[in-house]
Amino acid sequence: MENRQQRKERLDRGIKVRTEGLYGIMSLRELSYLTLPRLVLIVGILILPLVMPSMYWQRVISIVCIYSLLALSFDFLAHFVGLVSLGGAFFIGTGGYLAAILNTSFGLPPVLTIPISTLLGAVICTVLLLPCLPLRGVYFAIVTLMYPLVLTRIIEALNVLGGTDGIMGVASFANRWIEQYFVLVMVLVSMFGLRRLVNLDIGLVFRAVKDNDQAVKASGMNITYYKAIAVFIASAMGCLGGACLVHIYMWSGISQFALDFSILPIAATVIGGAGTLVGPVLGCFILVPISELLRAFGTLRIVFYCLILVGFIVFRSEGIMVYGQRKYHQFERWVEI
Amino acid sequence: MNDQPILEVQEATKSFGGIMAVNRVSLDVRGGEILGIIGPNGSGKTTLINCITGFIRMTSGKVLFRGRNITGKPAHKIADMGITRTFQIMRPYYSLPSYKNLVIPLFSPRARRTGGWRGGGKLGDRDTVGIDILEEIGFERDSFVPYKMASTLPTGYLKRLELARCLALKPEIIFCDEVFSGLSMSEIASMIPLIERLQMDGITLIMIEHRLRELFRVANRVMVLNFGEKVVEGSPEEVMADDKVKEVYFGSEEVEEVMSHA
């Protein structure tokens, strides 16, 4: 018997090629090939609060959205700008405390505290992170990890901003529907907005900074400036999440600087598919509810959680979205070599 | 070509620890000329370019551009003035198609200021302008090459892409770091008219090369570096005839061949 060797060949589906460019609006089939996945995602996300069985699970959806915002900001910074951020906790804490202060000390309603703390928080985060932006390498990750730890200790030691008790009596959203739909719409807006952004000319500059910052410098552009813009965008999303979280819990405390907010979005990005922007959101919609379901196992829940993560990393390291997109756009077949 | 030097370098020195990578090298370039810089490996040619274009800080020395002191300015400011460079190790943006690679320099403040690329200023479509520049530099517009991912391009196209990135900035000076190396003879033959055209457009070129025969065809003046020091400077014929240059390149076949033709 001769030794027959085969390899797997991947080819684009005909419909994928047909729907590139103007021909996408050729027929209903092409149109639905393009729009259906997005439609399913948008409608699916928007009807979630309606199908949730209990108040408890509706609250979980809100928390999922806040993690999704963080995961989006991580994915954007890591895979489109080349800055690995562990700053989820930093952004959440900054936005959250700002919203709590604005609400309890200045008496502003959530309608005002959320946009103000989003923008102000993003400015504060960007300014604090500015010193490490000209550097390449791990410094950005280290500094973003350090700030929440430092701020926690400062709040503890100096007993400012409510100390270990936190700031209580923060106003809540008008009702739970507004709360849920606000965060859900914010996730959708950020997701599609970021995807638009990374394909704009300025988005190409961000991606170029990731690919090769020397060439961007040689093109006469200040890379620190563009990194700062990117950090501003990402931290605005994090601070928005923090402000919402505070109004949902009606309380702001040092647990908002907890490392969960830095680590879980990264895990969600790994599971969902890095660099797809949709993937991290899906990752959050899988991971956070799983961790809630696993509460029944008590302390063993971390073990199961880790097993799921390890399983994903070993068997589907590319992530759900990358895998899904490949299956959607391409078919595979075995060919003789 | 006028006599006023466009770029003047006075006693540029760069030391890495105890090693003098560039040792008191002075040069001046007149507008519109092609200056060749040659020298054996490790003689400090690329370090000199890195110093002038601000990618590394000079230990001492001065760089004047049109009489203005630009020593120690950051690389992006120097590029913004129109002093551009290519990289010896080609660095395209691998995750983007070739023509999208040019959107980045076209987005820069200098390109937006100078505009002019057939309306490609503030409101122009940078994709179209990018394809125009690529066509000018030798990418066939109607082929699929400009639309291919930069990671799949062969060396010849990558070298051209590097030049295109400089051209998008409407440069006054281009430092070409070994644009001929790694190319086949026919690819070089097609590059030479391009270099000559750039000179005709009034762009000053400073070319680091190992391909002496091709360089001597286009260069107006040649400078020889060895161990970070300037050995000799002059017209290609003078340099070829110089005894010190023969010493520097002793044993190098190509030089002997070029010399014997001279």
Residue B1 has pLDDT above 50, yes or no: no
- Crossing angle of helices A55-76 and A260-272, rounded to 10°: 80
**Contact, A37 vs A328, CB < 8 A?**
yes
Candidates B80, B91, B106; nearest CB to A215: B91
Strand B229-234, strand B221-226: pairing:
antiparallel
Q: Which of residues 179-208 of A touch B (CB under 8 A)?
A: 201-202, 204-205, 207-208
Residue A186 has pLDDT above 90, yes or no: yes
Question: Hey, what are A36's tokens?
Answer: 């259906």
Confidence (pTM) = 0.88
Q: How many CB atoms lie within 10 A of CB A131?
A: 10
Collect all residues of chain A within an 8 Å Cβ-Cβ radius of residue B104.
204-205, 208, 215-216, 219, 221
pLDDT tens column, B202-254: 899 999 988 888 888 888 899 988 888 888 888 888 888 888 887 777 656 56
Q: Which domains are assigned to chain B?
A: 5-92+153-261 (3.40.50.300)
Inter-chain contact A211–B168, Cβ cutoff 8 Å?
no
Task: Find the closest chain A residue to B84 by CA distance.
Answer: A218
- Mutation for testing the B interface, residue in A81, A209, A216, A219 having most B CBs under 10 Å: A219
How many pairs of residues across A and B have Cβ atoms under 8 Å apart?
79
- Would the ipTM clear 0.90, i.e. be above it? no
Confidence of residue A257 (pLDDT cuts 50, 70, 90): confident
Give B165 to chain A, closest Cα distance, Å: 7
DSSP A65-119: HHHHHHHHHHHHIIIII------HHHHHHHHHHHHHHHHHHH---HHHHHHHHHH
* A17: contact with B, CB 8 A cutoff: no
- Crossing angle of helices A55-76 and A176-199, rounded to 10°: 20
Confidence of residue B17 (pLDDT cuts 50, 70, 90): confident
CA distances from B44 to A94, A336, B13, B49, B242 (A): 49, 52, 10, 9, 20
End-to-end CA distance of chain B: 26
Taking alpha carbons only, the member of B233, B231, B191 closest to residue B215 is B191
Residue A254 has pLDDT above 60, yes or no: yes
* A217: contact with B, CB 8 A cutoff: yes
* A330: contact with B, CB 8 A cutoff: no
Confidence of residue A168 (pLDDT cuts 50, 70, 90): confident
What mean pLDDT is predicted for residues A175-190?
91
Helix (H) or strand (E) holding B16: strand B5-16
Distance CA B196, CA B219 (A): 9
**Contact, A292 vs A60, CB < 8 A?**
yes
